[in-house]
Structure 1
Amino acid sequence: MPSNNKSQTLLIVDDTPDNITVLGALLCPFYHIKIANNGSKALKLAINPPVPDLILLDIMMPEMDGFEVIKRLKADVITKNIPVIFLTALTSADNESQGLRLGAVDYIYKPINPEITLTRIKNHLELKQAREILDDQNKWLTIEIAKAIEHNKIIKKTAIRALANVAESKDNETGNHILRTQNYINELARELAKTEKYKHQLTEEYIELITEAAPLHDIGKVGIPDEILHKPSKLNAEEWVIMKTHAEIGANAIWNAIKDIEDKLAVKFFEIAIDIAGNHHEKWDGSGYPKQLKGEAIPLASRLMAVADVYDALINKRVYKPSFSDDETTKLIIDGSGTHFDPDIIEAFKRIHPKFVEIKNLMHDEKTR
């Protein structure tokens, strides 16, 4: 027998007063009861608090029969999950099939058997409670998973930033170079993604991976001697050969760290990081290093990084050079289209140049101002 705390609400829908009287007398000791004598009233009562936990619905009613009522109940977000048990004197298999197709959970045939009616109502209410508990658990689990994913993202970003800062500590005049170039490349990628040529390649996921990998572009500088990195004048030929090895050092370091990783998304991220670290000094005309790649043979992430990196290197003071003005820097970048840089990316740069200036001003190096 059901408990009699009346914490659950049943809606009885029947146009016959005698049926309502019988059901009411049977169910009132155990449940809070709402009553409707037609379909229209039933639909109104179903959405008014307290929303019923279960509906007992007569099929044969004038104006709006039970089949039409259940269709409307299932179409409403408030009532779609309320279990509906049909009350009927019809024993046709076709009627039962139709009701079940429309979403009814059970049938109770008239004249009702009190024990069967109470048992079926109790069982379906328990099933509803179980589903709600499971839904709540799933929602909680979804929230916890989202928290864990966000936590892991923070850990990954922090780890990447820490690795990048190791390289920055070797080349200590770059200041906020990592943050600025990360923002430059994100803006460039988003602008380039608006073009027909790149809209499919530069997905939101790919842009996010490029942005996250950008701080690792100079990780290879950890392998360059301090006397070369900090030399306050132009490098000689021998020193320049050593300096150029930082691209391969960075790419190889990342590859050696991830070569046994099987997680596809992680591998994709680090493949992009390898492209950026290893190829951001390649030039569109093939005169760059370390592989002398040319044109679109240079990975897209590397071509984007090249513009971001050179812009920031020019416009900020370095140990070996003064800062250039924005006009000077912009002219050099644009003049490099088709030789140093991908022409498509330079067109994107020209369209969003004010954003580069904004990023530079927001993340400036105090000692270079």
Structure 2
Amino acid sequence: MNIVIVDDNAVNLMLMAALARSATGLEPLRFDDPVTGLEWCREHGADLIVVDFMMPRMDGHQFIEAVRATPHLADVPVVMVTATGQNDVRRRALEIGATDFLTKPVDSTEIKLRLRNLLQLRQAQNLLRDRAALLADEVRKATEAILLRERDLIVRLSRAAEFRDPETGGHIQRMAHYAALIARQMGEPESYAQALLTAAPMHDVGKLGTPDHILLKKGRLDGDELAVMHQHAEIGGRILADTDSPLLKLACEIAETHHEKFDGSGYPRGLKGEQIPLGGRIVAVADVFDALNSHRPYKQAWPLQDSRAYVEQHSGSHFDPRCVAAFVKGWDEVVAIRAQFPD
């Protein structure tokens, strides 16, 4: 710990240093120039400062104000040395942040007791601050561990759905990156874009509940089969419902609503406009676009430009116009994502 003594009088400086050494067992740092002493404290920090009032270049009040204006010195105990009867000086010092006073002529026993007590107070402050920092770090680590477990759960559920779904892993990667891109282009926080990147692959987890003869059918589905297939959105919502995890809540929202349409003609609930959660509106664009330009047993892949044209043509009907505009704005990145995650 650092004890700093600032006094332009060499005799006083030597005496105060000897008393501080005797009281604390520490070797104080001595400065006969307040400006130099202040610069040292700002650079290296201090745990206890003793400063005289009457000094050239900078008096005790100015020194204390400068110390308190320095963030890492704001709570350091500062003792000002004054002459007897300087009550106005003391009051002003208290106003600007002095911790205690010493009066000339000095009482050696009193000085040693005051310095020892103030240094013990500083030690307690440091321990409390360090403990708070330690606890904050432990909370951070625990939170990170929980988030990692949540992401691991999402990845595993996504894999489970992928094993049953004829759609490729490339589709899941692409649509998740498209979703994150759209969120960024809409001005959403990066934290939200990252959450979409993690949660969007869960969009079709409800297909775990779709019968194989429908899910794996090579040709187009008839009306009754489509009705059963459409149940996967509701099933996905039920799988992911009732969670306290913000990430899983977002995945649940996406699974339930990514087949809703902006004009209200979608499923499962026929939500319209901004009744559809933002995650569902974003993933609707990302999912349909990639499905169009991906090969399926019942269709050939569309060219990228044709898939883009379809999305633009259905802005305001199937898709949220804001999401479509954001998607088109990031078109160069869309093309790069398509190339990065091939089937």
Map of 1:284-363 to 2, 5 A cutoff?
Answer: 284-363=262-341
How far is the alpha carbon of 1:189 from its aligned partner?
1.4
* SS at structure 2 position matched to 1:32: coil
Could you tell me how far apart the structure 2 residues matched to 1:48 and 1:350 are? 52
Map of 1:147-296 to 2, 5 A cutoff?
Answer: 147-193=141-187, 202-204=188-190, 206-255=192-241, 258=242, 263=244, 266=245, 269-296=247-274
Closer/same/farther in 2, CA of residues 38 and 237 from structure 1, 3 Å limit = closer
How far is the alpha carbon of 1:175 from its aligned partner?
1.8
How far is the alpha carbon of 1:233 from its aligned partner?
0.9
State percent identity of aligned pairs: 37
Q: What is the count of residue pairs matched by the alignment?
A: 341
Could you tell me how far apart the structure 2 residues matched to 1:254 and 1:46 are? 56
Check if 1:39 corresponds to 2:34. yes
Residues 253 and 279 in structure 2, CA contact (< 8 A), matched pair in contact too = yes
How far is the alpha carbon of 1:313 from its aligned partner?
1.0
How far is the alpha carbon of 1:121 from its aligned partner?
0.8
Letter matched to residue 121 of structure 1 = L
Residues 283 and 293 in structure 1, CA contact (< 8 A), matched pair in contact too = yes
Residues 173 and 341 in structure 2, CA contact (< 8 A), matched pair in contact too = yes
Closer/same/farther in 2, CA of residues 246 and 10 from structure 1, 3 Å limit = closer
Encode CA deviations 1:143-167: one digit per residue, 9 max, x unaligned: 2322222221111111112112221
* SS at structure 2 position matched to 1:233: coil
How far is the alpha carbon of 1:337 from its aligned partner?
1.9
Could you tell me how far apart the structure 1 residues matched to 2:39 and 2:306 are? 72
Letter matched to residue 205 of structure 2 = I
Could you tell me how far apart the structure 2 residues matched to 1:36 and 1:120 are? 21
Check if 1:58 corresponds to 2:52. yes
Closer/same/farther in 2, CA of residues 116 and 311 from structure 1, 3 Å limit = same
Structure 1 consecutive aligned stretches of length 4 or more whose deviation exceeds 6 Å: none
Could you tell me how far apart the structure 1 residues matched to 2:18 and 2:152 are? 66
How far is the alpha carbon of 1:54 from its aligned partner?
2.0
How far is the alpha carbon of 1:73 from its aligned partner?
2.1
Residues 91 and 109 in structure 1, CA contact (< 8 A), matched pair in contact too = no
* Alpha-carbon RMSD: 2.5
Could you tell me how far apart the structure 2 residues matched to 1:27 and 1:80 are? 22
Paired position in structure 1 for 2:68? 74
How far is the alpha carbon of 1:109 from its aligned partner?
1.4
Could you tell me how far apart the structure 2 residues matched to 1:271 and 1:26 are? 64
Closer/same/farther in 2, CA of residues 173 and 43 from structure 1, 3 Å limit = closer
Check if 1:87 corresponds to 2:87. no
Paired position in structure 2 for 1:15? 8
Paired position in structure 2 for 1:5? none
- What TM-score does the superposition give when structure 1 sets the normalisation length? 0.83
Encode CA deviations 1:299-323: one digit per residue, 9 max, x unaligned: 3221211111111111122233222
Letter matched to residue 20 of structure 1 = L
Residues 164 and 208 in structure 2, CA contact (< 8 A), matched pair in contact too = yes
Encode CA deviations 1:275-324: one digit per residue, 9 max, x unaligned: 32122112233332223333333332212111111111111222332222
Letter matched to residue 108 of structure 1 = L
Residues 36 and 45 in structure 1, CA contact (< 8 A), matched pair in contact too = no
Residues 13 and 38 in structure 1, CA contact (< 8 A), matched pair in contact too = yes
Closer/same/farther in 2, CA of residues 45 and 212 from structure 1, 3 Å limit = closer
Closer/same/farther in 2, CA of residues 220 and 79 from structure 1, 3 Å limit = closer
How far is the alpha carbon of 1:94 from its aligned partner?
4.0
Paired position in structure 2 for 1:26? 19
Could you tell me how far apart the structure 2 residues matched to 1:218 and 1:48 are? 57
What are the ranges of 5 or more consecutive residues in structure 1 without an aligned counterpart? 1-7, 194-201
Closer/same/farther in 2, CA of residues 100 and 316 from structure 1, 3 Å limit = same
Closer/same/farther in 2, CA of residues 299 and 25 from structure 1, 3 Å limit = closer
Letter matched to residue 19 of structure 2 = L
How far is the alpha carbon of 1:345 from its aligned partner?
1.7
Encode CA deviations 1:31-62: one digit per residue, 9 max, x unaligned: 3233333433432454566x553221111234
